[in-house]
Structure 1
Amino acid sequence: MVPRRYPRRVRVLVTGGAGFIGSAFVRSLAAGVYPGLSGEVRVLDLLTYAGRRENLAGLDVELRVGDVRDPAAAARAVEGCEVVVHFAAESHVDRSIAGAADFVSTNVVGTQVMLQAALDGGVRKFVHVSTDEVYGSIESGSWSEEHVLEPNSPYSASKAGSDLLARSYFRTHGLDVSVTRCSNNYGSHQFPEKVIPLFVTNLLDGRKVPLYGDGLNVRDWLHVSDHCAGIAAVAERGRAGEVYNIGGGTELTNRALTEKLLDAVGADWSSVEPVADRLGHDRRYSVDWSKIRDELGYEPRVSFEAGLADTVAWYQESRAWWEPLKAGAAR
């Protein structure tokens, strides 16, 4: 496949670029990791609880504080940009169960506003970052990109809606949109409500960790740097109107993951507190990522053992980053 031809220096807009995955992508862009996307980086982020200025500290990027649901802010943000990578979303399943309204508003309406702004602004490529959770739950095998969408939580339902909007802007308006659907991410700078940073930081503080149900729910784990490399490949060479699954190739039960985290910090099972299962808890996720491998040459590079060790070490060394977040959440 012939790579998409961008100008010599590309202006890339990253929505949600101060969050966990978005900031990892921005740090790689700023470091020149993706030569085909080298140039200027602009970030649009509302800086809600999970979007942190600190995640962009020291980077030569333009941060615009604004809401993807605001058409005027979106139009200003896309001005002069060739590529939009749309991360901005509410993403925590438990929060969506407690209250779905923000998820529908940000994930569905916000995506439509950004798509329209990109269309009106003449953006050359729009990458919509989604999740494997839109497929629902699978007992065996793996989902291909053609699998029916069967979301089971308000979060995943809102992401499925945004995926369909992205498809509609390609089919109706001809906007060059690609959708990526990733498995569970982990790495540094992840807000400590998600399982790996929550468990690590609790264990470092000598607190118990909550294990849902029987602990046998299965997830495929993907290091954030591998996810970002897949997104960059789609931004550079992905086909318009196509969906690309991005997987990590490491499936673990939550119980097995807990064991690895206990070992990593020198704790034992006395630190684990079984809790009632999450409402509508999907049993297993597994994506077939052969399409992005065969078309775009994607392969996960970071082994789970090495990635987890680096992640645990980062949280051990970064109390100044996560302690205020946990204190604020507790208040």
Structure 2
Amino acid sequence: MSILVTGGAGFIGSNFVLDWVKQSDETVINLDVLSYAGNLENLKTLDGDARHVFVKGDICDRALLDRLLAEHRPRAIVHFAAESHVDRSIHGPAAFVRTNIEGTFTLLEAARAYWGALQGEEKAGFRFHHVSTDEVYGSLKKDDAPFTETNPYEPNSPYSASKAASDHLVRAWHHTYGLPVLTSNCSNNYGPYHFPEKLIPLMIVNALAGKPLPVYGDGQQIRDWLYVTDHASAIRAVIAGGRVGEVYNIGGWNEMANIDIVKTVCALLDELRPSAAGPYERLITYVTDRPGHDRRYAIDARKIERELGWRPAETFQTGIRKTVQWYLDNPDWVARVQSGAYRDWLNKHYG
């Protein structure tokens, strides 16, 4: 038995692969193009493990997808592969359209052909799990109820629009062709192996280097935060017991403003790695807000708890402490991912 994971060298994908191998003897076929955010070093502990088969390749490559499906005959596809950073999507939306829309279309077509040729229990048991985001629902006002699975889609960035389009494709392939799909929309993930362009790892890395901690606008943008291994366990639950064709929102029950996240990281660093120059909050620097910045996201995760019995194991307090400690313990990983291209992007974006 095996599963095919796309984007399994990225932040969430690699954490899912590591978690899967801990929980199962099934082989993981890991397909990743190794763009700037894909990092095989995340999976170094699996070197020599026959349960992990890595393939460098693009989800837009139909011939490669057909070959992998025919050779490994997976019982499920777990689709993480995506361009995923809002700021990058504003500066270069074309890559998001190609990977998130065209790539998902190509994967769906390959999966449809493969599934259509299966017989009996293999066909009945096959699942296509599409991993998406809460950003497809748009922005909430302060007193609005959290997003449920029936919220209308109102994406506000090139990134969220491309993910919304991919969600619609997945839904259509189920209703038109009968492909047995599952979709999950998650809130903001954090944890080990997070590429340091996103808020939490950027704050940790910059603080340790004595650099400014850039906070957009007034810092009052609110997000729900989900520890990445909780996300992995939720996906396992959906694959195992989710109803075909259904959407499951996955959240951490942790709504916090960005500025409070930054101050929490600073306080933990003051405790765990104090600076001789003084408290890390001194480095907080407010910068011009990004275009179309959504004000609040919040996930109502009651459906997955009601149907599948899943709840996050980590609170934000336990998860953020583990995250900060991981970055303190792995400075070599941080140094290696901070390539010249990454520094050039930071300079371009933050000036």
Please give the range of the TM-score, normalised by the shorter of the 2 chains. over 0.9
Work out which of the residue numbers 137, 140, 143 in structure 1 matches 2:139: 137
Farther off after superposition, 44-53 or 69-78:
69-78
RMSD after superposition: 1.0
Aligned counterparts of 1:177 and 1:327: Cα–Cα separation in 2: 37
**Cross-structure match for 2:183:** 179
Farther off after superposition, 259-268 or 245-254:
259-268
**Cross-structure match for 2:312:** 300
Alignment of 1:1-150 (within 5 A): 10-32=1-23, 35=24, 38-59=25-46, 60=49, 61-79=52-70, 80-122=73-115, 124-139=126-141, 140-150=144-154
Give the AA of the match of 2:3: V
Work out which of the residue numbers 279, 299, 303 in structure 2 matches 1:287: 299
Gaps of 5+ in 1: 1-9
**Greater helix share, 1 or 2?**
2
**Cross-structure match for 2:332:** 320
**Cross-structure match for 2:343:** 330
Aligned counterparts of 1:17 and 1:245: Cα–Cα separation in 2: 21
Farther off after superposition, 67-76 or 152-161:
67-76
Gaps of 5+ in 2: 116-122, 271-278, 345-351
**Cross-structure match for 2:282:** 270
Aligned counterparts of 1:272 and 1:260: Cα–Cα separation in 2: 12
Give the AA of the match of 1:209: L
Does 2:172 align with 1:160? no
Superposed CA deviations along residues 183-223 of structure 1, whole A, max 9, x for unmatched, are 00000001000000000011011111100001100000000
Alpha-carbon contact 2:5-2:29 (below 8 Å) kept: yes
Give secondary structure in 2 for the equivalent of 1:31: helix
Farther off after superposition, 317-326 or 248-257:
317-326
Aligned counterparts of 1:102 and 1:51: Cα–Cα separation in 2: 15
Give the AA of the match of 1:133: E
Q: Tell me the CA shift for residue 78 of structure 1.
A: 2.4
Does 2:199 align with 1:195? yes
Give secondary structure in 2 for the equivalent of 1:220: strand
Aligned counterparts of 2:178 and 2:89: Cα–Cα separation in 1: 32
Give the AA of the match of 1:169: W
Aligned counterparts of 1:55 and 1:114: Cα–Cα separation in 2: 24
**Cross-structure match for 2:215:** 211
Give the AA of the match of 1:86: H
Give the AA of the match of 2:297: Y
Aligned counterparts of 2:235 and 2:191: Cα–Cα separation in 1: 16
Q: Tell me the CA shift for residue 52 of structure 1.
A: 0.8
Aligned counterparts of 2:139 and 2:156: Cα–Cα separation in 1: 8
Alpha-carbon contact 2:207-2:280 (below 8 Å) kept: no
Aligned counterparts of 2:260 and 2:19: Cα–Cα separation in 1: 31
Aligned counterparts of 1:73 and 1:199: Cα–Cα separation in 2: 38
Alpha-carbon contact 2:269-2:280 (below 8 Å) kept: no
Give the AA of the match of 1:51: G
Give aligned pairs, total.
Answer: 318
Q: Tell me the CA shift for residue 269 of structure 1.
A: 2.7
Aligned counterparts of 2:218 and 2:304: Cα–Cα separation in 1: 34
Give the AA of the match of 1:26: V
Superposed CA deviations along residues 231-265 of structure 1, whole A, max 9, x for unmatched, are 11111111111110000001000111111011011
Aligned counterparts of 1:77 and 1:322: Cα–Cα separation in 2: 32
Give the TM-score taking structure 2 as reference length: 0.89
**Cross-structure match for 2:118:** none
Aligned counterparts of 2:114 and 2:212: Cα–Cα separation in 1: 50
Give the TM-score taking structure 1 as reference length: 0.94
Please say which structure displays the higher CA radius of gyration.
2
Alpha-carbon contact 1:78-1:84 (below 8 Å) kept: no
Alpha-carbon contact 1:64-1:77 (below 8 Å) kept: no
